[in-house]
Amino acid sequence: MTVVATNKKAYHDYFIEETFEAGIQLAGSEVKSVRLGGVNLKDSFAIVRNGELFLINAHISPYKMGSYFNPDPRRDRRLLMHKKEIARLQGKAERKGYAIIVTKMYFKQALVKVEVALAKGKESHDKREALKEKQQKRDLARTLADYK
């Protein structure tokens, strides 16, 4: 498994409760661009439309060697999951404060896969607490490294 892109902001803004693996429907030049690492998942999320799951606001850079007909970098892309999984995810996401977000894009064998997460939004005091804990762990690691 080769991770191409991660959505670090998602871990800062949300509590990740459950993750799912989904395929993604891409054009040929988009796959080549993903292989080169031209992906940005910041501010991306997923929605359910007509029983299908779509990735919204993800940026896949146009392939430089592609033709004039390269697809739009921010177009909506269909995510491939079983209908039962989509229905279950939609039912949980309809609760207040929950969202469907994308946390990772990676290659599994030769296929591009996306990690979709059911997440609950953090409030500002939760974010401050998480940053405080992270800073304390970093300080502790530094002091232990200094004594060695």
For 10-49, the pLDDT digits (tens) are 888 888 888 999 999 988 888 888 888 888 888 889 999 9
Tokens of 2: 């080769």
The per-residue pLDDT for 12 is 82
For 70-91, the pLDDT digits (tens) are 777 788 999 999 999 999 999 8
The per-residue pLDDT for 126 is 77
Question: Which CATH code, of 3.30.200.20, 3.40.50.620, 1.10.357.10, 2.40.280.10, is assigned to 2-122?
Answer: 2.40.280.10
The per-residue pLDDT for 82 is 94
Question: pTM of the predicted model, to two decimals?
Answer: 0.79
The per-residue pLDDT for 95 is 84
Does position 145 have pLDDT exceeding 90, yes or no? no
Beta bridge partners of 15: 120
For 134-144, the pLDDT digits (tens) are 899 999 999 88
The per-residue pLDDT for 66 is 72
Q: What b-and-e string marks burial along 128-144, b requiring 16 or more CB atoms within 10 Å of the CB?
A: eeeeeeeeeeeeeeeee
Residues 6+ apart with CB under 8 A from 95: none
Domain locations in the chain as residue ranges: 2-122
Residues 6+ apart with CB under 8 A from 69: none
